[in-house]
């Protein structure tokens, strides 16, 4: 059963921006995807492993979508499916040079498409463009997820595979034990409570 939400449509420089308020987080899985309309820009935050949008094609033809994590160097991935648990129609990932991603696909008027946005700036992505220092420091790849008792000191600014920018420094500033002695369950709990969500900007673009 879907949770009911209040949706407000704002206009900023002629572009519709979707804003949502609710007691529960929305968009964290396909079953409660956020609505997205052609010609709009949506600004939300990614929590967990993915952020989902639902798009109903207003006409038959090619549609284009792009995503980025504004104000960060995080690497984005965008994928389009024909249904929840359905077939992937198109997908694209960013890289070190262009961290945002964009996709185009052939849409059918009236059909519903699910757009999945994820942050691939975890260990695998970071290892391709970060030099590993001889001594690992707070936030470096290899020190372990911030949201788990990782058995080492500090963490690598990821939360179960999703980047949590500045998470290690945030937690250690409040509790030095996490960086001096051990990143234990208390540190992991603090990371879940205090680490900043990843900002997401999704927009559609015209295919010429």
Task: Sketch the domain layout of the chain as residue ranges.
Answer: 6-123+197-205, 129-194
Rounded to 5 degrees, φ, ψ at 58 are -80, -15
Whether pLDDT at 192 is above 60: yes
**What pTM did the predictor assign?**
0.65
Q: How confident is the model at residue 120 (pLDDT cuts 50, 70, 90)?
A: confident
CA 14 – CA 54 distance, rounded (Å): 22
- What mean pLDDT is predicted for residues 95-110? 88
For the chain, percent of residues with pLDDT exceeding 90? 33
pLDDT of 134 higher than 70: no
Q: How confident is the model at residue 142, as a pLDDT?
A: 75
The Cα–Cα gap between 58 and 37 comes to: 9
pLDDT over 80 (residue 178) = yes
CATH 1.10.3470.10 is held by the domain 6-123+197-205: no
pLDDT confidence bin for 122, thresholds 50/70/90: low
pLDDT at 73: 78
pLDDT of residue 208: 57
**Phi then psi dihedrals of residue 172, to 5 deg:** -70, -30
Structure tokens at 79: 């994928």
Rg of the chain over Cα atoms, rounded to whole angstroms, equals 19
Lowest-confidence pick of 60-64, 106-110, 122-126, 158-162: 122-126
């Amino acid at each position: 059963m879907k949770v009911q939400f209040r949706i407000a449509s704002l206009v900023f420089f002629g572009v519709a921006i979707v804003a949502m308020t609710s007691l529960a987080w929305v968009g964290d899985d396909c079953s409660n995807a956020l609505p997205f309309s052609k010609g709009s820009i949506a600004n939300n935050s990614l929590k967990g492993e993915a952020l989902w949008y639902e798009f109903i094609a207003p006409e038959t033809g090619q549609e284009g979508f792009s995503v980025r994590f504004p104000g960060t160097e995080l690497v984005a991935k965008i994928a389009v499916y024909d249904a929840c648990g359905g077939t992937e129609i198109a997908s694209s990932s960013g890289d070190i040079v262009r961290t945002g991603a964009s996709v185009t696909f052939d849409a059918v008027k009236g059909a519903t498409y699910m757009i999945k946005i994820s942050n691939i700036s975890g260990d695998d992505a970071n290892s391709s463009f970060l030099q590993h220092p001889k001594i690992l420091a707070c936030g470096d790849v290899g020190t372990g997820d911030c949201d788990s008792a990782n058995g080492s000191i500090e963490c690598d600014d990821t939360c179960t595979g999703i980047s949590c920018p500045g998470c290690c420094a945030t937690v250690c500033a409040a509790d030095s034990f996490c960086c001096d002695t051990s990143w234990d369950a208390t540190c992991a709990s603090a990371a879940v409570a205090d680490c900043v969500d990843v900002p997401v900007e999704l927009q559609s673009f015209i295919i010429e």
